[in-house]
Structure 1
Amino acid sequence: MIKIVGLGPGDKESLTMGTIDCLKQCKNIFFRTEKHPTVDYIKDLGINFHCYDDEYESKESFDQVYQSIARDLICREKKLGDIVYAVPGHPMVAEKSVRLLIDICTAENIKYSILPAVSFLEAMMQALHIDPVQGLRVIDAFEARNCKLSNKEAVVITQVYNKFMASEVKLALCEYYQEEEEIYFVRAAGIKDEESIRKIKIYELDRQDDIDYLTSLYIPAGIKAYGDFYELVSIVKKLRQPDGCPWDKEQDHFTIKKNLLEECYELIEAIENRDEESLIEELGDVLFQVVFHSQIGSDDGYFNIYDVTDRICRKMIERHPHVFSNLSLDSTEKVLDNWDSIKKQEQGLKTYTDELNHVAKTLPALMRAEKVQKKAAKVGFDWNCVEPALEKVKEEFYELLQVYNCENMSRILDEVGDLLFSVVNVCRFLNIDAEEALSHTTDKFIKRFSFIEDAAREKNIDMKSMTLEQMDELWEEAKK
């Protein structure tokens, strides 16, 4: 049997009688650490114990320390019989070594019991007059960078045990809260004559001189934070409510589909311009469209934003088995092949033609053509080099020359399409994005046209009065 007891937040008055009786009655006692204010009092009671402080020096991480402690306790129990494991505070509050120990005991059918104790939380709540019913979240400082924070609830962060950890926590907080906001720095909560509570600004956190293993933080609800995803969801929901915005309430998936397309193009432009500020804004605009469509789905009773995020999370996990399972894929090519294989299974694509038809018809035509060609090439319907593709461009060009003067617009449409399709094929062989190439040339055209207009303005000539030969002469000059 392993009895797990808590030593309270630090004052001897917070030790329970049950804990003291248990320590007095057992010979085999193990403390996670001797660095706790109640230890001197326990020694004065004549209680002897072994501690694991040496583990912190010999192991590379806290996870390794806690794993080692848990395993050693299991071995001790098997060898000695009944033992006691004592930890600061309450065994079930922010004590990873206890969680690991319980997991092993459960797996190996070893009996254990947990005695009631006072945690550091009770001391924090008393010192700060906190009612946890109003919303309180407890975070281990080690996990601060991985936690989703919200200013809708109060937060307690424990184990801010030195300046390095304080710096890490500060960086995590500054990603969400504004650095000028005030939080509570709490040291030795519940310990008579040692307790210290003061307000500090977030950016001052790692500048405190008395940071040690008794340090915790309290972040009140409602302090200023940067807008987060959940706030955006709330804003869009408000816009669609009866007392919201008349325009937003009237929209449906079809009326705003063009808005999503426009925002995506503006995002791409920000990327092309390498404009980080615009990139932030345009990513937000695209995200707004996603949330807007999701809110419309919710209002219609079909789906909500959490269905959307759940679907994409599951999709990413399922399509990356080399990351989230034991499948080994050691190259990008293998990853992409596996992605396509999974995608075909999910979408029920049974034939190669199914794959071609599944390329979205609403894509820009050049992009759709390239995607279709790539899929066809995977089964060998492709040339081995670019030269035959170039010859195909010539062939399609001459076929267009034969029909461009006729009155059969359907035939002209076919031949123009064939020519464009063959040019996209050449781009694919040359690893040139056809959309990007055409966009580049369009920009070049605008720049040269601007040169002509500027030249005409300098000569006080109206461009409309210029001959094509005059314009072409300036065009050639613009190319230099």
Structure 2
Amino acid sequence: MNTIHIIGLGAGDLDQLPLGVYKKLKTATNLYVRTADHPVLTELMQEDVGFTSFDLVYEKHDSFSPVYEEIAETLISLSQSESIIYAVPGHPLVAEQTVQNLIQAERLGRCQLAIGGGHSFLDSLFGALRIDPIEGFQLMDGTEMTSDQVNMTHHLLIAQVYDSFSASEVKLTLMEKYPDDYPVTIVTAAGSADEVLRTVPLHELDRSTEVNNLTTVYVPPATDQTQRLKEWQTFRSITAKLRSPEGCIWDREQTHESLSAFLIEEVHELLQAIQEEDDEAIVDELGDVLLQVFLHAQIGQDNGYFQLEDILEAISAKMIRRHPHVFGDVSVENSEQVVANWQEIKAQEKPIQASVLEGQERFSSSLTTSFNYQKKAAKVGFTWPKATFAWNKFHEELQEFQQEIANGSKAQQIDEFGDLLFTLVNLARFFDLSPEEAMMQANRKFRSRFHFVEQQVKQGTGNFDDYSLEQLVEFWNQAKLCARKEDLT
């Protein structure tokens, strides 16, 4: 097995090339280069330095990954019979995927490498842009970057922007976070005599200037917090500020307990937005729910018990653990098997319960608690065999409630009314209906129709006392009729 000697051509012209690298290139007999499109190679050709490039490999594939894989495999094959030199733009260990593929092959014992030096394009970029890397910077591959990887508080350098198509992809990714007119700088041939820097609005990135394999896109840090509103860390810092001594008095006074009612309210408002299929309202209400999550996380951090990272770790570990068909080697054929696996894993995670009803109470909703209790009891066989029995029980409870209303005490009336409601929830379970959702829908329907009645009164005398019950009921029926017409359109 012969050695593959890897050297870097730097980011500029021949004047920037280290003397030792220049000597190796001049004396090389088996010189291979990833691409001939480099100013150093252009000048070396004039000095009669011969080499073989892999430019034709790019034309065979539609994406870069198979290109890099083929180049690496070809070099490994060539090294079986002779020692070779492989030259790449920049530094071999900076943004060079072919070299990373070769390193992985070396770890598997498939080749032997000797990695030499090379002038990194980063050095020239820092000089051209006048930035200090100690302030924090990110180097990203423009062919693989995603918006969630971007830290808007850092200097962002995007390499592998070869052409207008890759520049367009980078632009669209950045626009997921940055404003359309955010200034970005296109840097070409940094540090060389052909160095060009041009700053343009983000939306013009792919049509402002020609780009090539010596192009890097620079995005400066977003120093204004209002420019970073799409960053998770920004929202976290806002929440922390609200609860800080310099923040809001009301927010500082809140506890897990005091915020509970607000969380319930926000969830119900979100459910309403979902029911109404109002995307803008869903975005707004999801934000309100997220605020509650961040406030509880900040309270936990302020009290020294837990913080947001603990919440993320817990839910991430749970999702991986309970989806072995996604993150493991378990096979499933349908969603029923997914649910069965979930319940089995969930049962293994929790200690043995003294009662099947443990953990089913929802203090925010007695309807949901009742539904959960009856569902759990039914799973162990404690349920009517048919819905007919539940209907008979409902009529029985209705009669008992009517009797208590006629002759019973307030306590007895409440008791029988509770039994009646409990039976209604049982009926809902038999027909796979959510009592909570049904009650929410009934409330929305009442609010909508009563609002119509109010409008009719306002258009009339403006005083409810001037209308008989029959007239108000007529308004109500008109509201029902209007709703039916809307459902038909």
Q: TM-score scaled to structure 1, two decimals?
A: 0.89
Q: 1:255–1:330: structure 2 CA closer, same or farther, 3 Å change rule?
A: same
Amino acid at match of 2:84: I
The 8 Å contact of residues 228 and 234 in structure 2, kept in 1 or not, is answered as no
Question: What is aligned with 1:358?
Answer: 359
1: distance between equivalents of 2:98 and 2:68? Answer: 5
1: distance between equivalents of 2:381 and 2:105? Answer: 55
Following TM superposition, by how much is the alpha carbon of 1:242 offset from its aligned partner in structure 2, in angstroms?
Answer: 2.4
Question: What is aligned with 1:396?
Answer: 397
Question: What is aligned with 2:61?
Answer: 59
Following TM superposition, by how much is the alpha carbon of 1:474 offset from its aligned partner in structure 2, in angstroms?
Answer: 6.2
Question: What is aligned with 1:221?
Answer: 221
The 8 Å contact of residues 164 and 210 in structure 2, kept in 1 or not, is answered as no
Q: 1:61–1:366: structure 2 CA closer, same or farther, 3 Å change rule?
A: same
**Which structure 2 residues correspond to residues 108-187 of structure 1 after superposition, within 5 A?**
108=109, 110-187=111-188
1: distance between equivalents of 2:361 and 2:468? Answer: 44
Give secondary structure in 1 for the equivalent of 2:157. strand
Question: What is aligned with 2:34?
Answer: 32
2: distance between equivalents of 1:358 and 1:320? Answer: 22
2: distance between equivalents of 1:459 and 1:133? Answer: 72
Q: 1:49–1:367: structure 2 CA closer, same or farther, 3 Å change rule?
A: same
1: distance between equivalents of 2:246 and 2:454? Answer: 52
2: distance between equivalents of 1:132 and 1:453? Answer: 65
Q: Count residues with an aligned counterpart.
A: 476
Following TM superposition, by how much is the alpha carbon of 1:145 offset from its aligned partner in structure 2, in angstroms?
Answer: 2.2
Residue deviations 1:87-107, cap 9 Å, x none?
111111111111111011012
2: distance between equivalents of 1:478 and 1:199? Answer: 60
1: distance between equivalents of 2:166 and 2:384? Answer: 59
Question: What is aligned with 2:9?
Answer: 7
Question: What is aligned with 2:444?
Answer: 443
2: distance between equivalents of 1:477 and 1:126? Answer: 75
Following TM superposition, by how much is the alpha carbon of 1:470 offset from its aligned partner in structure 2, in angstroms?
Answer: 6.5
Amino acid at match of 1:178: P
Question: What is aligned with 1:47?
Answer: 49
Question: What is aligned with 1:346?
Answer: 349
Residue deviations 1:264-314, cap 9 Å, x none?
222223223333333222222221221111111111111111111222222
Give secondary structure in 2 for the equivalent of 1:268. helix
2: distance between equivalents of 1:111 and 1:423? Answer: 75
2: distance between equivalents of 1:459 and 1:123? Answer: 78
Structure 2 residue 279 is matched with structure 1 residue 276: yes
The 8 Å contact of residues 106 and 113 in structure 2, kept in 1 or not, is answered as yes
Question: What is aligned with 1:367?
Answer: 368
2: distance between equivalents of 1:160 and 1:402? Answer: 81
1: distance between equivalents of 2:91 and 2:146? Answer: 24
The 8 Å contact of residues 6 and 115 in structure 1, kept in 2 or not, is answered as yes
Most deviating of 249-258 and 116-125: 249-258
Identify the match of residue 320 of structure 2 among 314, 317, 320. Answer: 317
Question: What is aligned with 2:486?
Answer: none
Question: What is aligned with 1:200?
Answer: 200
2: distance between equivalents of 1:392 and 1:321? Answer: 43
2: distance between equivalents of 1:251 and 1:474? Answer: 44
1: distance between equivalents of 2:16 and 2:188? Answer: 16
Q: 1:232–1:77: structure 2 CA closer, same or farther, 3 Å change rule?
A: same
1: distance between equivalents of 2:378 and 2:256? Answer: 35
Identify the match of residue 249 of structure 2 among 225, 246, 250. Answer: 246
Q: 1:239–1:265: structure 2 CA closer, same or farther, 3 Å change rule?
A: same
Following TM superposition, by how much is the alpha carbon of 1:20 offset from its aligned partner in structure 2, in angstroms?
Answer: 2.6
Residue deviations 1:323-380, cap 9 Å, x none?
22222223121111111122222222467x44x3222432412223333444444455
Structure 2 residue 350 is matched with structure 1 residue 330: no
1: distance between equivalents of 2:199 and 2:458? Answer: 66
Following TM superposition, by how much is the alpha carbon of 1:166 offset from its aligned partner in structure 2, in angstroms?
Answer: 1.3
The 8 Å contact of residues 161 and 213 in structure 2, kept in 1 or not, is answered as yes
Give secondary structure in 2 for the equivalent of 1:68. helix
Following TM superposition, by how much is the alpha carbon of 1:44 offset from its aligned partner in structure 2, in angstroms?
Answer: 3.7
Q: 1:475–1:58: structure 2 CA closer, same or farther, 3 Å change rule?
A: closer
The 8 Å contact of residues 187 and 215 in structure 2, kept in 1 or not, is answered as yes
Identity %, equivalent residues:
39
The 8 Å contact of residues 141 and 159 in structure 2, kept in 1 or not, is answered as yes
Following TM superposition, by how much is the alpha carbon of 1:39 offset from its aligned partner in structure 2, in angstroms?
Answer: 1.3
Question: What is aligned with 1:105?
Answer: 106
Give secondary structure in 2 for the equivalent of 1:127. helix
Give secondary structure in 2 for the equivalent of 1:155. strand
Give secondary structure in 2 for the equivalent of 1:432. coil
Following TM superposition, by how much is the alpha carbon of 1:460 offset from its aligned partner in structure 2, in angstroms?
Answer: 5.1
2: distance between equivalents of 1:75 and 1:414? Answer: 84
The 8 Å contact of residues 95 and 141 in structure 2, kept in 1 or not, is answered as yes
1: distance between equivalents of 2:361 and 2:116? Answer: 62
2: distance between equivalents of 1:137 and 1:477? Answer: 63
2: distance between equivalents of 1:263 and 1:357? Answer: 26
The 8 Å contact of residues 404 and 412 in structure 1, kept in 2 or not, is answered as yes
Structure 1 vs Structure 2 CA RMSD:
2.8
Q: TM-score scaled to structure 2, two decimals?
A: 0.88
Q: 1:143–1:372: structure 2 CA closer, same or farther, 3 Å change rule?
A: farther
